Amino acid sequence: MKVAVAQFEPKDGNKAYNLSVIRTLTAKAKSEGAEVISFHELSVTAYTFIKNLNLQQLTDLAEKVPNGPSTKALINLSAEFNIAILAGLVEIDAGRIYNTYICVTKEGVKTKFRKLHPFISNFMSKGNNYCVFDLLGWKCGILICYDNNIVENVRATTLLGAEIIFAPHVTGCTPSPMPGRGFVDDKYWQNRNVDPISLRREFDGLKGREWLMRWLPARAYDNGVYYAFSNPIGYDGDQLKNGNAMIIDPYGEVLAEIKSFENDVAILDLTKDKIRSSGGWRYKNARRPELYKNIIGAAHDSSTRPVWMKD
């Protein structure tokens, strides 16, 4: 399966613009042979600005799935270019609002997944189901942004059969107790064309890529799966994001990655032979769940809110 991951700079709440960029990048991915393209979290609407919306504003932004206009637009794009598309939008269903990620083909909606650990708005409800679906002969899973930080979510998704996990994010370049983390100063972005080295240093350092490298390859390695990570580049709301959309193989190796500051795609041809030969595959088969099933399954109070949202 030939997979593309995308990065682009969205416009807050501007679905028409964001869908136009999705169209451009879908066309580019298809021209380079991709069969699937994956966009970032809430790519249809943008993400960070949602923290400032009241309930009515968020409700106005939300749409039904599969009958809403953005879903229909994505299905039409999939049919036009004959490529599977994964993208995120705000869903409303029975009065509840979700951070939702869908996969569409020319036949319609293949699957939808609701973020398990939303925090950007108190008006958003939690999803309560894992997602594994068939696509082009592969078992595919979806985990949105923070969902991937909880190792049990990744293990559960792979135990349900996932061979690749699509991991749409809006992440990086935010404060954290970890030394070296923090926002990226706007001056680096404004000077990116005359001084790209300074911005690349910020994006690839501990604020961005180096932080990702602390844990993202481990999710692929420990579980013996491919990881398709997508992330916006430039401003999402009032925060700069570092892009670095990438595909990681079951050995934890980054085999395709976007290194530009532009709207762009990276493409990789995935092969299944690596999965069963990976350490993660063997380790899953070596598990002894009788030792820890009661520990892992014990009652627990969940707190998702990140440091940068505390105030």
Which pLDDT score, from 0 to 100, does residue 303 have? Answer: 86
**Given this model, what pLDDT does residue 305 score?**
83
- Provide the pairing of β-strand 2-7 with 36-38: parallel
Torsion of CA 265, 269, 273, 278, to 10 degrees: -20
Question: For residue 253, what pLDDT is reported?
Answer: 98
Integer Cα distance of 111 and 271 in angstroms: 23
* Domain presence at residue 307: no
Q: What is the pTM of this model?
A: 0.96
Q: With respect to residue 154, please indicate whether it lies within any of the assigned structural domains.
A: yes
Asked if residue 119 is part of any domain, the answer here is yes
Q: Report mean pLDDT in 10-residue bins for the chain, 311 residues.
A: 98 98 98 98 98 98 98 98 98 98 98 97 98 98 98 98 98 95 97 98 98 98 98 97 98 98 98 96 95 94 84 57
Domain annotation covers residue 309: no
- 89, 41 contact by CB (below 8 A): no
CATH number, domain with residue 117: 3.60.110.10
Which residue range(s) make up the domain with 249?
Answer: 2-299
Predicted confidence at residue 102, as pLDDT, reads: 98
Domain assignment present for residue 304? The answer is no
Residue 188 domain-assigned? Answer: yes
Q: What is the tally of structural domains in the chain?
A: 1
Read off the pLDDT of residues 217-247 as tens digits, 9 standing for 90 and up. Answer: 999 999 999 999 999 999 999 999 999 999 9
Report pLDDT for 311: 57
Note whether residue 306 is domain-resident: no
The radius of gyration computed from the CA coordinates of the chain, to the nearest angstrom, equals 19
Residue 305 lies inside a defined structural domain of this protein: no
Those residues with Cβ within 8 angstroms of residue 306's Cβ, 6 or more apart along the chain or in another chain: 119, 146, 174, 176
